[in-house]
């Protein structure tokens, strides 16, 4: 009888033994793991200035306490929604909060992360407009752009990367106007990857809609505590990542994708995942919750499905809802203001040591792009002093030699910025 290994072609078979260690029991296995883990560098969150995920945000103990209750921790898609009223209610609350935060009319009960939410939003635009061209920022997170390309290039979608203004870092509106013809949509991020808040988006919205294209806006949800919500300038679809909303650093694991759209039935029917609705009992005496839209192919539409996204992040949406409820409007505003202030504090400290802002006329939120000679050496020396000091952009974008992108969080305060100043003082003396 032919074995399974015999079906593998000879040219791809491994010709040598794999150098695997000898088996060991539980006791020595744990010691081995502890030894390896002891080599990890641990950075206090106030010394992390990373512009990329995983993000370190302060998570109130109440979020863990409530979300780790067994009836929520084990929550998954409610296939029998009528017996899952508690879960449906909290997901409805999550959707409502996302709509209020973004200024949109309809939100679903979550996706995987920002990248997949963006791809689903683009897919919605392609079907809605029956066009085949998409405009993306030239400067966006590399991993996010790669996900978009893997989704779109295999189906022949034309991708155009638009430019930004040199002084302000804002979107170059003339470049958009010259390349928007026959585009299904344009995607913008506000704040941008470089942390720039763009106040030209209302003008851009008018340009996009005159071309009958869809306007997709990517958001950082905390920033919406102090900057205009996309619904106020007629965004069609809003996407984002809710990892800042009480989701622990995931190191490649799950995040929480936000997607919301304006109220138009054709657009809503193209939205992936599930939408939870609220109604009343027949006599009107009690509220009732139900799944009012399910675009899942396995058990609803099969080959007619609007999307291949097959699950959501229910538990993480629950955590985000708990967190936003704890913060409230004023708490979110104060948190956003603190991060804005920390961004300006970081800029001031760096400028005092000869760093130069790449966009001197821009207003930044969370992320900040600076340049300085010998930045590679400075970053290495800061690492030795226990700082995760930003991300060098020379290998990612042309024309950004000696440039570093840094990010702040709510963990930094006056004391931590003074410590940063002292560390930079020592480092720059020796570089």
Q: Are residues 248 and 291 located together in one domain of the fold?
A: yes
Last residue of a domain, one of 324, 357, 379: 324
Average pLDDT over every residue of 294-304: 59
Report pLDDT digits (tens) over 52-74: 988 999 999 999 999 998 878 76
Percent of the chain surpassing pLDDT 90: 72
Examine the domain organization and report whether 238 and 254 are in the same domain: yes
Given 292, 309, 324, which residue is the final one in a domain?
324
CATH number of the domain that residue 426 is part of: 3.90.1150.10
Residues 336 and 288 both lie in one domain: no
In this structure, are 422 and 279 located in the same domain?
no
Q: What is the pLDDT of residue 42?
A: 87
Q: What's the predicted TM-score (pTM) here?
A: 0.91
How does pLDDT run across 241-280, given as a tens digit for each residue?
999 999 998 777 779 999 999 999 999 989 988 889 998 8
Q: Give a yes or no: residue 310 inside a domain.
A: yes
Task: Among 72-86, 95-109, 415-429, name the one with the lowest average pLDDT.
Answer: 72-86
Is 80 exceeded by the pLDDT of residue 33? yes
> pLDDT tens digits for 330-345?
999 999 999 999 999 9
Q: In what order do the strands lie in the sheet with 403-407?
A: 356-357, 367-371, 403-407, 391-392
Residues 255, 114 share a domain: yes
Per-residue confidence (pLDDT) for residue 69, from 0 to 100: 87
pLDDT at residue number 308: 66
Domain extent at residue 177: 61-324
210 and 269 co-located in one domain: yes
Based on the fold, state whether residues 271 and 356 are members of the same structural domain: no
What share of the chain has pLDDT > 70, as a percent? 94
């Amino acid at each position: 009888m032919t074995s399974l290994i015999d079906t593998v072609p000879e040219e791809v078979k491994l010709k040598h033994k794999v150098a695997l260690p000898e088996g060991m029991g539980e006791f020595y296995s744990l010691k081995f793991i502890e030894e390896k883990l002891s080599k990890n560098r641990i950075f206090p969150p106030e010394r992390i200035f990373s512009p990329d995920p995983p993000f370190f945000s302060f998570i109130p103990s109440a979020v863990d306490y409530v979300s780790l209750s067994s009836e929520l921790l084990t929550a998954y898609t409610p296939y029998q929604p009528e017996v899952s009223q508690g879960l449906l209610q909290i997901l409805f609350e999550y959707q409502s909060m996302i709509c209020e935060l973004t200024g949109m009319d309809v939100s679903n009960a979550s996706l995987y992360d920002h990248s997949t939410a963006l791809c689903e939003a683009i897919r919605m635009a392609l079907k809605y407009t029956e066009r085949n061209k998409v405009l993306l920022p030239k400067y966006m997170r590399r991993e996010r752009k790669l996900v978009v390309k893997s989704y779109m290039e295999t189906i022949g979608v034309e991708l155009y990367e638009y430019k930004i203004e040199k002084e302000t870092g804002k979107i170059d509106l003339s470049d958009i106007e010259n390349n928007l013809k026959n585009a299904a949509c344009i995607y913008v991020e506000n704040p941008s990857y470089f942390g720039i808040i763009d106040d030209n988006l209302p003008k851009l919205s008018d340009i996009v809609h005159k071309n009958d294209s869809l306007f997709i806006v990517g958001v950082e949800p905390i920033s919406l505590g102090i900057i205009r919500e996309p619904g106020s300038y007629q965004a069609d679809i809003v996407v984002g990542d809710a990892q800042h909303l009480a989701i622990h650093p995931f190191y490649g694991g799950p995040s929480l994708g936000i997607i919301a759209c304006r109220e138009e039935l054709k657009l809503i029917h193209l939205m992936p995942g599930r939408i939870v609705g609220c109604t009343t009992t027949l006599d009107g005496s009690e509220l009732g919750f139900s799944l009012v839209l399910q675009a899942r192919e396995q058990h609803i539409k099969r080959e007619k499905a609007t999307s291949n996204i097959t699950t959501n992040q229910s538990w993480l949406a629950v955590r985000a809802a708990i967190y936003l409820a704890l913060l409230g409007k004023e708490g979110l505003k104060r948190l956003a203001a603190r991060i804005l202030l920390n961004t300006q504090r970081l800029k001031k400290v760096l400028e005092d040591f000869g760093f130069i802002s790449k966009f001197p006329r821009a207003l930044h939120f969370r992320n900040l792009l600076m340049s300085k000679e010998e930045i590679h050496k400075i970053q290495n020396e800061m690492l030795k002093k226990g700082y995760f000091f930003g991300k060098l952009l020379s290998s990612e974008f042309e024309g950004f030699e000696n440039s570093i992108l840094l990010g702040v969080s709510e963990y930094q305060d006056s004391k931590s910025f003074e410590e940063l100043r002292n560390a930079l003082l020592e480092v720059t003396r020796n570089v």
